[in-house]
């Protein structure tokens, strides 16, 4: 997300990652009015193909990346649904310190224009080029993107698993709405759709390391789905998050529950909720964050697992425990997100502790548990990748909805 998601990714570099099976998705029947559990693809209620499945590398703290071919080189670009511009390190960049870098070839056209973007931590600027861009496994599209010529704090080579696994992407691919693209650049998803390369449907599965992206439809077998998807409508109004403004892939969050008990806040408190793969945490309004973290800190199971560790949440600190991940999930309270259903009523997505507020990351032989929640310094709520673990998150732009389906792909 412009001005925010990259900031969190930088602040939590390598610190927030995790994926464990067993996401529990529950529904009051809003997304299955006849009670059959049926849907577009049998009992899984997901749009069928044709499907292109693309492997992802990376982790929660640094983001998740796919391979893109530009010119004669293949680059790892972080996929961010909260921004709209594709930008890659240029061979002319003196301080990008990543490899490979983009060198314009015979198919490239220099548009003689500059673009820049600034984030809470990090910024870049560069020349706009027109060239063929190909996401691995899909057809190429010709589009305007930025060759980064200078940057400050944008690239990060801290690595996943608290630095034990190398990961240093060479740029970013904005998968957000087209109006989030910087002036003079194109939105990649829009270009794909207009070229007929894919429909406006894509879905993510994130693991502690890596994951996968599906474009054009959903293959429930490859996704290892364990239950049907539920859907909530995307908001049509602009989501004014931070000083960037613009319309994000946003939904309404009606309620947040810890261990099945509501925290006592309404949709008005949560404000606009942006669903953003470029943010590594669930960023909550300050009052909600304070209430939630106080209850977790004082939970007897949390104290038994981690000792008196009040102050973990909202930091880059990670803790180890004598308890296994399975024991933590069995003893600590779940976190439930309640959304409006596309059919009326509500749907609830219930997440285990290590699939939401305590995502694990593996460093050598030790499993550490990090903060998956943060107090949002800006307005609204941001649903980042820590709250997407253990599930397939579906962005259906054709039907203007976002879906959640339980999966054990990451097992």
Would you kindly state where each structural domain of the chain is located, as residue ranges?
5-46+224-406, 52-215
Percentage of residues in the chain having pLDDT higher than 90? 73
The encoded tokens of residue 285 equal: 């309004």
Distance CA 259, CA 375 (A): 20
Bond preceding residue 342 cis, omega within 30 of 0: no
State the pLDDT confidence band at 196, using cuts at 50, 70 and 90. Answer: confident
Confirm whether pTM is higher than 0.85. yes
* pLDDT tier, 195 (very low <50, low <70, confident <90, very high otherwise): confident
* Domains 5-46+224-406 and 52-215 belong to one CATH topology: yes
pLDDT band at 25, cuts 50/70/90? very low
Cα–Cα distance for residue pair 204/54, rounded to 1 Å: 10
- For the chain, percent of residues with pLDDT exceeding 70: 85
Burial grade of 318 (CB within 10 A; 0-12, 13-18, 19 or more): buried
Rounded mean pLDDT, 96-104: 96
What gap in Å lies between CA 7 and CA 367, rounded to an integer? 25
| 171: its two tokens | 């740029």
Residue 160: C-alpha distances to residues 191, 204, 382 (Å): 31, 19, 22
Rounded Cα distance, 60 and 40, in Å: 30
- Longest Cα–Cα distance of the chain, Å, equals 64
Residue of 41 and 196 predicted with greater confidence: 196
Three-state DSSP state, 189: helix
> Residue 149 to residues 6, 61, 103, 116, 154: CA-CA distances in angstroms?
18, 25, 11, 10, 12
Q: So what's the pLDDT on residue 308? A: 74
Residue 246 in this model has a pLDDT that exceeds 70 = no
State the DSSP string of 258-277.
ETTEE-S--HHHH-EEEE-T
For 201-234, what is each residue's pLDDT tens digit? 999 999 999 999 999 999 999 999 999 999 999 9
Query: Mean pLDDT, the chain, as a whole number?
Result: 87
CATH fold for the domain made of 52-215: Cathepsin D, subunit A; domain 1 (2.40.70)
Please determine, for residue 240, whether its predicted confidence score (pLDDT) is greater than 70.
Answer: no
Task: Evaluate whether 145 touches 98 at the Cβ level (below 8 Å).
Answer: no
- What is the reported pLDDT for 72? 86
Q: Determine contact, residues 163/62, Cβ cutoff 8 Å.
A: no
Could you name the CATH architecture of 5-46+224-406?
Answer: Beta Barrel (2.40)
């Amino acid at each position: 997300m412009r001005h925010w998601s990259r900031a969190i990714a930088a602040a939590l570099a390598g610190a927030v990652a995790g994926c464990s099976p067993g996401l529990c998705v529950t529904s009051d029947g809003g997304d299955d009015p006849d009670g059959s559990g049926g849907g577009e693809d049998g009992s899984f209620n997901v749009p069928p193909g044709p499907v292109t499945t693309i492997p992802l590398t990376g982790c929660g703290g640094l983001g998740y990346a796919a391979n893109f071919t530009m010119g004669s080189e293949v680059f790892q670009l972080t996929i961010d649904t909260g921004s709209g511009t594709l930008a890659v390190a240029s061979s002319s960049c003196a301080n990008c310190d990543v490899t490979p870098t983009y060198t314009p070839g015979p198919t490239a056209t220099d548009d003689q224009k500059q673009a820049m973007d600034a984030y809470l931590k990090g910024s870049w600027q560069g020349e706009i080029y027109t060239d063929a861009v190909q996401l691995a496994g899909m057809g190429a599209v010709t589009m305007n993107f930025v060759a980064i010529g200078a940057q400050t704090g944008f690239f990060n080579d801290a690595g996943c698993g608290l630095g034990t696994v190398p990961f240093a992407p060479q740029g970013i691919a904005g998968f957000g709405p087209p109006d989030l693209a910087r002036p003079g650049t194109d939105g990649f998803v829009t270009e794909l759709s207009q070229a007929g390369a894919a429909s406006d449907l894509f879905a993510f599965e994130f693991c502690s390391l890596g994951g996968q992206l599906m474009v054009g439809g959903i293959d429930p077998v490859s996704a290892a789905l364990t239950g049907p998807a539920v859907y909530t409508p995307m908001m049509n109004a602009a989501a004014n998050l931070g000083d960037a403004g613009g319309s994000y892939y946003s939904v309404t969050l009606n309620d947040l529950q810890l261990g099945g008990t509501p925290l006592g806040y309404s949709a008005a408190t949560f404000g606009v909720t942006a669903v953003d793969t470029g943010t590594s945490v669930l960023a909550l309004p300050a009052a909600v964050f304070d209430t939630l973290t106080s209850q977790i800190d004082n939970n007897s199971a949390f104290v038994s697992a981690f000792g008196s560790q009040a102050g973990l949440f909202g930091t880059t600190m990670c803790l180890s425990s004598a308890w296994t991940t399975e024991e933590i999930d069995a003893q600590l309270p779940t976190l439930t997100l309640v959304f409006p259903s596309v059919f009326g009523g509500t749907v609830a997505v219930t997440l285990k502790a290590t699939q939401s507020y305590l995502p694990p990351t593996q460093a050598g032989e030790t499993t550490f548990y990090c903060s998956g929640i943060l107090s949002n310094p800006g307005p609204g709520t941001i649903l980042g990748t820590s709250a997407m673990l253990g599930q397939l998150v579906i962005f259906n732009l054709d039907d203007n909805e976002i879906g959640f389906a339980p999966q054990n792909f990451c097992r």
